[in-house]
Structure 1
């Protein structure tokens, strides 16, 4: 039996679809974002709503392929498909878009998307090491701040930035506490429910209400744990899912893992723990602190990306993981190439079973994935 509050959490997307329309009609400005590198704090300090844009469903990909190549990452095609079909209310009501130079496919897609709405692109340094990269990223923070000030005719003060930083840190702390409940053996929350709770937070129009809901959810789960109610028994193989971000509509690998008897206890990806791991330093200059926090994100677009290996190792130990599954989208070259490094690290350094699943958003390979997952889990159990 699932926690009762999951019903309320699952309803967030529909509720926020209405709220974003009402807010827009009331004159509230909306900034649409796609990536974990996007500094929501600057948008909030501009008295705007910051929302994650749709990009996890297979439904609009056919329309996107009329303009984009078929052999392209499904996340990119889905994001663009939602934009051109007006099927994403968050994109429709966004006044401006924030893009980022993470991968080449997204950069070129953004050129097309920029014709639909005003867009600001943050040029992400492709290395997270050294003062030069941090200096460049600090400048990008300032450029985005100045862009919003001009677009919305507002002044983003240091005090407003600090207030926004405190709010976002509170959200990260709440989501991190929720995720860390699954360090318990057995896990009290399914990987599917954990993914939904963390993914849906990006659509929250009201951050305070979202934080309150997650804190109430934590209390409910802790109460269930005291009563001995868990999502899996302690013999279920405990899996760390790493790799590309997932959401509702692109969760098939996660779903198959748990339907096959695994307990996905940790989600290392962008829609999981990765963006929660580091808080913004509230004592530093806000722009510098934001630059440091976001540049620390261990994304495969970075070279080198040893921070990802460090995070995987910490999660493996804290969550008592039995195996690691790396999910990579077809044509996502950075994650696909990096999977070789992750495989060697997991097998050689952590001495754990490893499985890479390369797929797209369609259901065409569900049977094949199920066979591979079942064999992988049998190997863990034996």
Structure 2
């Protein structure tokens, strides 16, 4: 699109952030600095940050390694789980290869059992999630946060002080603020940029090991977009405003956002683990108990593995109101039972309580359904 040519060069650099991070991971190891790999937004990254470790999300969103994974895993399993395992076992993910420790979480039964196989060829630490977000669940989760800190100390032979954790909390909070400032630009109508482009900025920033640099660069992008907002908004014009909810988006599943915008809509918010959910809510910097503060922030992440999933609906409702959405597209992965079952409740919430359109898209990591998706999403946009 024309608007992309007028944005700062750094905008495109963020789109290449993951590729550049592969080289950064090797440099990290060449300097003998620790690297911790993660799969989920429930992992409190402030703890490895406190010991000066780099933290990176591991490869999990491509069908490239799924055939290899299916030698050990059922073909009917969620593609995210198979992709994660395939990248790990094939050594096709540089992040996984260079990670000293992989920190995972018991979000679903498929992941939990897959991690047992993965632990045979990589040091793993599994954080045990509660099933409910109540008082008893929080007590368990706080213990898990402390156990994770103790694992890092034991595994790397370091001491992590509470002052170090507080500094990491401040830095990560600032990163969250910068990302939310970027996302908030989409509250404008017409928007000053297309949502898929903005998604790539924040997603790319998550692969920048220098977090202070990532904050600086995201704010540079935000300022530049604001400088040219009037001109660019006029070029884009008013479009149906879509929120994407559901399973994590990235890699292969970015096709959904791309098709929405190619067929005349604009994605104003991403309510998923690779979107606003990952940055929503700050850690309380004034709480003298740093472990309680960390546990509280991560405990309030909405996810379909929780029953009931109160915090997901709370966030989705706020986004619908604040971003003035015309519709919610609920993107789920084949074989992801919790998110697929929850589409029933999300549909009722969106259409009955919020009074806007709802559309469910179930997909996988192949491109075989792109033609069908194009037809169906174009029909939604035209209806709006």
Aligned to 1:15: 20
* Residue 245 of structure 1 pairs with residue 240 of structure 2: no
SS, match of residue 32 in structure 1: strand
Aligned to 1:332: 336
Deviation at 1:274, TM superposition (A): 0.9
Distance in structure 2 (CA, Å) of the matches to 1:229 and 1:322: 21
Preserved contact between residue 186 and residue 232 of structure 1 (Cα < 8 Å): no
Distance in structure 1 (CA, Å) of the matches to 2:341 and 2:174: 35
Aligned to 1:127: 132
* Residue 164 of structure 1 pairs with residue 177 of structure 2: no
* Residue 93 of structure 1 pairs with residue 109 of structure 2: no
SS, match of residue 75 in structure 1: helix
SS, match of residue 260 in structure 2: helix
Distance in structure 1 (CA, Å) of the matches to 2:142 and 2:347: 34
> Across the two proteins, how many residue pairs are aligned to each other?
378
* Residue 181 of structure 1 pairs with residue 185 of structure 2: yes
Preserved contact between residue 189 and residue 231 of structure 1 (Cα < 8 Å): no
Q: Deviations over 1:123-157 (max 9, x none)?
A: 00111122x11111110011111111011110010
Deviation at 1:361, TM superposition (A): 0.7
Deviation at 1:188, TM superposition (A): 1.7
* Residue 259 of structure 1 pairs with residue 262 of structure 2: yes
Q: Deviations over 1:57-81 (max 9, x none)?
A: 1211121111111111111111111
Residue 212 of structure 2, aligned match among 194, 208, 211: 208
Preserved contact between residue 187 and residue 232 of structure 1 (Cα < 8 Å): no
Preserved contact between residue 192 and residue 236 of structure 2 (Cα < 8 Å): no
Aligned to 1:365: 369
* Residue 33 of structure 1 pairs with residue 38 of structure 2: yes
Aligned to 2:60: 55
Preserved contact between residue 205 and residue 218 of structure 2 (Cα < 8 Å): no
Q: Deviations over 1:200-243 (max 9, x none)?
A: 23322111111111111111111111x42139634310001100
Preserved contact between residue 232 and residue 263 of structure 1 (Cα < 8 Å): no
Instruction: Normalising by structure 1, report the TM-score.
Output: 0.96
What's the RMSD between the two structures over aligned residues? 1.2
Deviation at 1:248, TM superposition (A): 2.5
Distance in structure 1 (CA, Å) of the matches to 2:25 and 2:124: 19
Preserved contact between residue 24 and residue 93 of structure 1 (Cα < 8 Å): yes
Deviation at 1:280, TM superposition (A): 0.2
Distance 1:231 1:244, change over 3 A: farther
- For structure 1, the residue ranges without an aligned partner over 5 or more in a row are none
Distance in structure 2 (CA, Å) of the matches to 1:232 and 1:303: 44
* Residue 141 of structure 1 pairs with residue 145 of structure 2: yes
Aligned to 2:111: 106
Deviation larger for 191-200 or 293-302:
191-200
Distance 1:47 1:235, change over 3 A: closer
| Match runs of 1:223-302 below 5 Å | 223-225=227-229, 227-230=230-233, 233-284=236-287, 285-302=289-306
SS, match of residue 165 in structure 2: helix
Deviation at 1:325, TM superposition (A): 0.5
Runs of 4+ more than 4 Å apart? none
Q: Deviations over 1:256-306 (max 9, x none)?
A: 111111100111111001121110000111100000000000111001112
Q: Deviations over 1:81-123 (max 9, x none)?
A: 1101111111110000101010111101111111121110000
Distance in structure 1 (CA, Å) of the matches to 2:280 and 2:314: 11
Preserved contact between residue 195 and residue 247 of structure 1 (Cα < 8 Å): no
SS, match of residue 308 in structure 1: helix
Aligned to 2:48: 43
SS, match of residue 321 in structure 2: helix
- For structure 2, the residue ranges without an aligned partner over 5 or more in a row are none
Distance in structure 1 (CA, Å) of the matches to 2:53 and 2:300: 25
